[in-house]
Amino acid sequence: MEFYNKLNANERLAAIGSIVVIVGFIVSLLGAYGFGGNTIALLGAIAVLAIYFLKYSPSQTMTWPAPIPTIVLAISAITAILAILGALPVLGLLGGLGLYTLGAIVTVVGAIIMVWGAWQDYQAMPKATPPPTGGPRV
């Protein structure tokens, strides 16, 4: 709970989306055909939670290759795209697969929540100032 309190509102939304993706993966595993149900989405959700954990850990001294909101947005977007692509074939058999279908839908919803939170955090990030436009051009 202490970790959760360190997150800002947008990061909390992305973290909640990550947890929903993990729950959706577990629910899809309980279904009849759920073995390996969208493992990439699970890995993306775990990566987002790990990034936030590393961001707020007291002993963290690493330099990130890009701003953290940008990294989280990229991972969340890839996760959402793959979750949607993984759920499309299941929607044709909506009533026949039970928990697997429910897990796929929950995974997509969680991925969308994760992307929305990451996008809001990215938008709240201070932008670089544009280069000056006045003066002589060379």
List pLDDT tens digits, range 94-115. 656 567 777 778 888 899 889 9
- The pTM of this model reads 0.78
Return the residue matching tokens 């969308």.
Answer: 112
Closest among 95, 120, 114 to 22, alpha carbons compared: 114
Residue 33 — pLDDT band, cuts 50, 70, 90? low
Question: What pLDDT shows up at residue 36?
Answer: 61
Helices (H) and strands (E) in the chain, counts: 5, 0
Give residue limits of the domains in the chain: 2-124
Question: What pLDDT shows up at residue 28?
Answer: 80
List pLDDT tens digits, range 78-91. 999 888 887 777 66
